Amino acid sequence: MNEEEARAAELVSKTQIKKDAEDLVSLGKKIADLSQDQFEAMPLGDDLRQAFIVARKLSKGGAIKRQFKYIGKLLRSTDVTLINESMERQLDKDRAASARLHNMEHWRDKLVEQGDVALSDFLLSFPNADRQHIRQLQRKAKLELEKEKPPAAARKIFQYIKELSITD
């Protein structure tokens, strides 16, 4: 390798080092934003865990920035593959929970808007459901919708679907 190629490789290396450092600081910020339960489940060393605990307590801009740079420095000397995998698992759990929530909302809206047609589809998906109870809530929800009242029955439908989803 001649001198010019060595300089080009060095420039790329410095740029790559800076990008990697920024990525690690970004990863640190994502970890700090996790809920307490998610944070405790992360595979972190003692020094790193303490640095995150300090970062979570800080409120001033400059101090937070310095703390995250320190966290990035600690992460550089850590194998982050386990941490990244753990973050992905956390995100997958969040996505699955979000998908379940959207599915329950979809059923609620469908039951309120489509009546008996949606009820038969719902009973196929949830055979343990109480037909009379759902039908009664559907009628109440439709009346509330027509009279522009608060959707109390629709909320009850959602809660009932949630209960059914947990038991299935």
**SS3 for the chain, per residue?**
CCHHHHHHHHHHHHHHHHHHHHHHHHHHHHHHCCCHHHHHHCCCCHHHHHHHHHHHHCCCHHHHHHHHHHHHHHHHCCCCHHHHHHHHHHHHHHHHHHHHHHHHHHHHHHHHHHCHHHHHHHHHHCCCCCHHHHHHHHHHHHHHHHCCCCCHHHHHHHHHHHHHHHHC
Give the Cα separation of 11 and 17 in Å (integer).
10
Last residue of a domain, one of 51, 78, 105: 78
* 12's tokens: 């790329």
Which pTM was predicted?
Answer: 0.59
Answer whether residue 1 shows pLDDT above 60.
no
Q: How far apart are CA 145 and CA 40, in angstroms?
A: 44
Instruction: Return the sign of the alpha-carbon dihedral for residues 104, 105, 110, 113.
Output: positive
85 within a domain of the structure (yes/no): no
Q: What percent of the chain has pLDDT over 70?
A: 92
Q: Read off the pLDDT of each residue in 59-75 and give the average, rounded to a whole number.
A: 87
Task: Kindly state whether residue 151 falls inside one of the protein's structural domains.
Answer: yes
What is residue 159's predicted lDDT score, i.e. its pLDDT?
Answer: 93
In this structure, is residue 23 part of a structural domain? Answer: yes
Do 47 and 113 lie in one domain? The reply is no
Give the domain range for residue 102.
91-167
Residue carrying the six token digits 């190629």: 5
Q: State whether 163 and 100 are in the same domain.
A: yes
Q: Would you state the pLDDT for residue 8?
A: 62
Work out the number of other CB atoms within 10 angstroms of the CB of residue 106.
11
Burial of 137 (0-12, 13-18, 19+ CB in 10 A): buried
Whether residue 107 sits in one domain with residue 74: no
Any domain includes 84: no
What's CA 70's distance to the chain center, in Å? Answer: 26
CATH number of the domain that residue 107 is part of: 1.10.60.30
> Which distant-in-sequence residues (6+ apart) come within 8 Å of 3 by Cβ?
none
Instruction: Report the domain count for the chain.
Output: 2
Q: What is the CATH number of the domain that holds 46?
A: 1.10.60
- pLDDT tens-digit map of 135-160: 999 999 989 988 988 989 999 999 99
Are 111 and 59 part of one and the same domain? no
pLDDT tens digits, one per residue of 97-150? 899 999 999 999 999 888 888 888 888 888 888 999 999 999 999 899 889 889
